[in-house]
Structure 1
């Protein structure tokens, strides 16, 4: 398997030898069919899985929590998948630092709001209005993808995309 960047979207190239033919299999954003929730309802959690990468928080395209201890956002994918990578779009106006230090966790547990699931990646920083891709150090299996800020703060994100395969 090979991860390529094409037109700002990563594509997984699976080379399958079928009578000397090779096929591109474009990735599917599993989060689009998911149900999102978050630790506080300061803004609608579902805005982060609407397929819109618009990064303008003030115009209502992003979601964010209240100022709280260890705020989290989660998408229920409704089935367990093997997750290959996730893409996270940061807000482009004020407070783009709100994602700094966020942890991306993937697993099947809702214990502690999914914050105890295995760690996929930690966000050091994402430039304002940009989308960054995070490949888990190993493919993780899970139904829930949780972003948690392990400190007091506001968790803000504009789009969370989850790419993987079913069944796990």
Structure 2
């Protein structure tokens, strides 16, 4: 059984400079509850192509019958989410089942790997978006998080689906703060990632410091060999191994 031990959070007095980032979601890893076909993949919503396409061929689309469809992107960093821009599908055949009744939620933990992950709601939309319409949704206040999920909470009929042709995410820049890092310690576990940098260190604090100095998001630490594995680009399909010699520090599972 995984055991949660502690939380390290980088805290600071935050001031926002009012300037917005570039699109944080572009090219980042994305996942969906179900995928309509091999063309309408989750990545379609973050490929920078704003065209809506015939039969949603250029859009991320869920399957028929998915009664709680969701789409999520890993921003591979922790940001103060300011607003999200969403482009709806335009194909007339599916127009009646367009984007409606959905929430935009932000997580610090990966809800796929951690069922206990708690979202902070950025926005709740009830009425439908227009066919091919692009709308900006602004959070009531900047929400700190790494994972952004769009989820439908009501389906109108069996033909209803979640369709996202493009999702853009922007943050408000923070000053007087070091880059945010969130590490939860999981005893006896290791994240198996293909993107690992191995570093020899003196102790776990040295490993954490190495992670904090770069673009690292998580790390594995072996207390016996003092080996430090820095993980900068974890993926939704990364697996975990239960092993007594390793501990995992990060937010990809709990």
Measured against the shorter chain, the TM-score band is: 0.7 to 0.9
Residues of 1 paired with 2:29 and 2:111: CA distance? 17
Instruction: Work out whether residues 104 and 124 of structure 2, in 8 Å CA contact, stay in contact via their aligned partners in 1.
Output: yes
1:13-92 matched pairs, under 5 angstroms: 27-42=21-36, 43-58=40-55, 60-67=57-64, 68-92=66-90
* Paired residue total: 146
Q: TM-score, normalised by structure 1?
A: 0.77
- 1:1-168 correspondence runs (5 A): 27-42=21-36, 43-58=40-55, 60-67=57-64, 68-93=66-91, 94-96=93-95, 97-111=97-111, 116-123=118-125, 124-152=127-155, 153-164=160-171, 165=173, 167=179
Structure 1 stretches of 4+ moved >4 Å: 112-116
Aligned residue for 1:127, secondary structure, equals: coil
Question: Which stretch has the larger CA shift, 38-47 or 95-104?
Answer: 95-104
CA distance in 2, matches of 1:84, 1:36: 19
How far, CA to CA, are the matches of 2:162 and 2:20 in structure 1?
30
In 2, distance between residues paired with 1:154 and 1:82? 29
Task: Label 1:57 to 1:122 Cα distance change in 2 as closer, same or farther (>3 A).
Answer: farther
How far does the alpha carbon of each residue in 1:21-57 deviate from its partner, in whole angstroms, 9 at most, with x for none?
A: xxxx664000014111101122310000001110124
Larger Cα Rg: Structure 1 or Structure 2? 2
Q: Distance in 1 between matches of 2:152 and 2:26?
A: 23
List alignment gaps of at least 5 residues for structure 2. 1-16, 181-254
Q: What is the RMSD of the two structures over their aligned residues, measured on CA atoms?
A: 2.3
Distance 2:22 2:86 in 1: 15
What's the offset of the Cα at 1:126?
A: 1.5
Larger relative contact order (CA 8 Å, sep ≥ 6): 1
Alpha-carbon shift at residue 110 of structure 1 (Å) = 2.7
State the TM-score, normalized to the length of structure 2.
Answer: 0.52
Query: Which ranges in structure 1 are unaligned for 5 or more consecutive residues?
Result: 1-13, 16-24
Q: Are the aligned partners of 1:57 and 1:158 in contact in 2 as well (CA < 8 Å)?
A: no
